[in-house]
Amino acid sequence: MAAQTRAPGSEKAKKLKKREYDEDDVRIRPGKGSRPRTRIRPAHEEAVSGFVVAVDRGRYTCLIESEGEKGRRRKKDQLEGATMSGRVVVAMKARELGRKGIVVGDRVALVGDISGMANTLARVVRVEPRTSMLRRSADDTDNTDGIERPVVANADQLVIVTALADPPPRPRMIDRMLVAAFDADIEPMLCLTKSDLASPDELVSLYAPLGVPYVVLQKGATLDEIRERLRGRISVLVGHSGVGKSTLVNALVPDANRAVSHVNAVTGRGRHTSSSAVALELPDGGWIIDTPGVRSFGLAHVSVETVLAGFPDLLEGSIQCPKGCNHLSEECALDAWVAAGHADPARLVSLRRLLASREGTPDDDHPVEPESPSG
Ligand SMILES: Nc1nc2c(ncn2[C@@H]2O[C@H](COP(=O)(O)OP(=O)(O)OP(=O)(O)O)[C@@H](O)[C@H]2O)c(=O)[nH]1
Ligand SMILES: [Zn+2]
């Protein structure tokens, strides 16, 4: 997959809008004209469109959406359309797609046996252009294999789930996730859980000024606000073990466990699926994509510029930096900027740790991947 955007000083990559240098993107048919008349694949006009809800070892679990419902689900459709009410079809990748990756959140064209009956297998013949791609590197300094690993396609929101206590919040991890969101062209949102155990004030005062939206939650309290923010959108949930992500997912999607085991039953692959991303349809419309096996994002594939863009409060200060500044050396202008009171010193520390980590210095907020799924 796209390995060319290795971080340091990739001038070319940074000039382009992220989604344009995604070589996984097929840009043959922009828009959603209903009659693709491309010379390239006239054979697949009869294909139906599906939404990839789970991926497991070469099997793609897709939901075939009802006619006329291409984009987001409208509220009205929902009422009768409960979770996973569409037809669930398991598919394999058509040979013509070659090594092209298909990930959860992809919209695909399906042919072949789309009955969804047991032991049938459809074929994915096309992956529609993506609106976003959340990626990670296995490590910050990983340069051994494909480097970038696409995680989820087409998400429009990254929900960073952080407990206010037990486990204690880790701002540097939040910063890392914010960079990943920025890199992916996805709006970040903070979801602060366990507010019965500690006050959100400190974290809120750190991140609200950056324009990062947030919700504060505690078990058993109302979910109205977060429901509103998730409605009609595709949101990826990330968070460390124990922050209350499962508690939240189960509260938002009362059917979550059933939906996941349904996916597992269809793929016939047992609980393995629970270690990769699964898209769950929200009762009010929209999707949440739970990522149990993904707890951190290595950022080797992200340029220095993109990392800095994830720190909007420091960005302005970097204008004074010498050209090509790595923001780690003495001539970096950010020290003076922070010393002059323009930004919180902790933010510069966080930025530097992240940048240093990409240069090979271990970052204790960046656990080695993959973590084994637990509890
Ligand atoms: N005090 C308090 N505890 C909570 C709250 N939400 C969840 N918990 C508890 O925190 C623990 C972890 O919650 P989970 O929902 O399993 O957390 P998780 O993030 O899914 O963790 P993994 O399952 O390990 O991935 C459980 O014991 C929950 O009961 C909350 O709002 N307040
Ligand atoms: Zn600098």
Q: What tens digit of pLDDT does each residue of 225-276 get? A: 999 999 999 999 998 888 999 899 999 998 777 666 666 555 555 444 445 7
In this structure, the residues whose C-beta lies within 6 A of any atom of ligand 1 are: 193-194, 196-197, 218-219, 239, 241-247, 374-375
pLDDT at 117 (0 to 100): 87
pLDDT at 225: 96
Q: What pLDDT digit, counting tens, does each position of 99-157 carry?
A: 888 999 999 999 999 888 888 999 999 999 999 999 887 666 655 443 557 789 999 99
Tell me which of 359 and 325 has the higher pLDDT. Answer: 325
Question: How many whole angstroms separate alpha carbon 203 and alpha carbon 170?
Answer: 10
For residue 210, the one-letter residue type is L
Is position 194 annotated in a ligand binding site? yes
> 122 is written with which tokens?
């459809």
Residue 269 resides in a domain: no
| Inside any domain, residue 353 | no
The 10s digit of each residue's pLDDT in 159-174 is 999 999 999 998 888 9
The ligand minimizing its distance to the Cα of 319 is 2
Assess if residue 108 is contained within a domain.
yes
Q: Is residue 17 part of a domain?
A: yes
The complex's ipTM works out to 0.97
Which atom of ligand 1 is found nearest the CA of 195?
31
Q: What angle do CA 202, 204, 205 make, to 5 degrees?
A: 65
User: Quick one: which atom of ligand 1 is closest to the CA of 220?
Assistant: 31
- Whether 103 is covered by a domain: the verdict is yes
- Per-residue model confidence (pLDDT) at position 40: 52
Q: Is residue 233 part of a domain?
A: no
Q: What is the pLDDT of residue 69?
A: 43
Residue 139: CA count within 13 A, CB half-sphere: 10
Which ligand neighbours the alpha carbon of 243 most closely? 1
Domain presence at residue 24: yes
The overall average pLDDT reported for the chain is 77
Q: Residue 245 annotated as binding?
A: yes
**How many whole angstroms separate alpha carbon 50 and alpha carbon 53?**
9
Residue nearest to atom 30 of ligand 1 (CA): 194
Q: What angle do CA 146, 351, 23 make, to 5 degrees?
A: 25
Nearest atom within ligand 1 for CA of residue 218? 31
**How many domains is the chain built from?**
1
CATH number at residue 121: 2.40.50.140
CA of 329 to the centre of ligand 2 (A): 7
Distance CA 350, CA 356 (A): 10
What does the pLDDT look like over 37-65, one tens digit per residue? 455 555 677 889 999 999 888 899 999 97
Amino acid at 54: A
Residue 61, in any domain of the structure: yes
The reply, when asked if residue 272 is annotated as ligand binding, is no
- Which atom belonging to ligand 1 lies closest to the Cα atom of 374? 24
What is the spatial distance between Cα 133 and Cα 254, in angstroms, rounded to a whole number?
27
If pLDDT is split at 50, 70 and 90, which confidence band does 4 have? very low
Contact assessment for residue 284 and residue 78, using Cβ atoms and an 8 Å cutoff: yes
Give pLDDT, residue 234: 96
Q: Note the maximum CA span of the chain.
A: 66
- Is residue 183 scored above 50 in pLDDT? yes
In whole angstroms, give the CA distance from residue 185 to residue 9: 20
Overall average pLDDT of the 64-83 stretch: 44
CA separation for the pair 341, 142 (Å, rounded): 36
Vertex 28, ends 276 and 153: CA angle to 5°?
20
Give the residue, by CA position, lying nearest to ligand 1 atom 14: 244
Q: What pLDDT score does 57 carry?
A: 83
Contacts of 209 (CB under 8 A, 6+ apart): 313
Q: Considering only CA atoms, which of 125, 151, 156 is closest in space to residue 1? A: 151
C-alpha 166/C-alpha 172 separation (Å) is: 17
- Answer whether 134's CB lies under 8 Å from 326's CB: no
Q: Which two tokens stand for residue 229?
A: 């923010």
What single-letter DSSP state applies at residue 169? P
Token couple for 218: 């505690």
What pLDDT is attached to residue 200? 97
Residue range 202-213, pLDDT digits in tens: 999 989 888 899
pLDDT top residue among 87 and 204: 204
62 marked as binding residue: no
For residue 121, report the distance from its CA to the centre of ligand 1, in Å. 37
- The residue range of the domain holding 118 is 11-36+44-127
Q: For the segment 271-307, what is each residue's pLDDT rounded down to a tens digit?
A: 444 457 889 999 888 999 988 756 567 888 888 998 9
Rounded Cα gap, residues 11 and 42, in angstroms: 38
Residue-wise pLDDT for 211-234, tens only, equals 899 999 998 889 999 999 999 999
Which of the four pLDDT bands, split at 50, 70 and 90, describes residue 334? very high
Q: What is the pLDDT of residue 78?
A: 38
- Degrees (nearest 5) of the Cα angle 259, 32, 38? 115
Distance CA 47, CA 123 (A): 10
The answer on whether 205 is annotated among ligand-binding residues is no
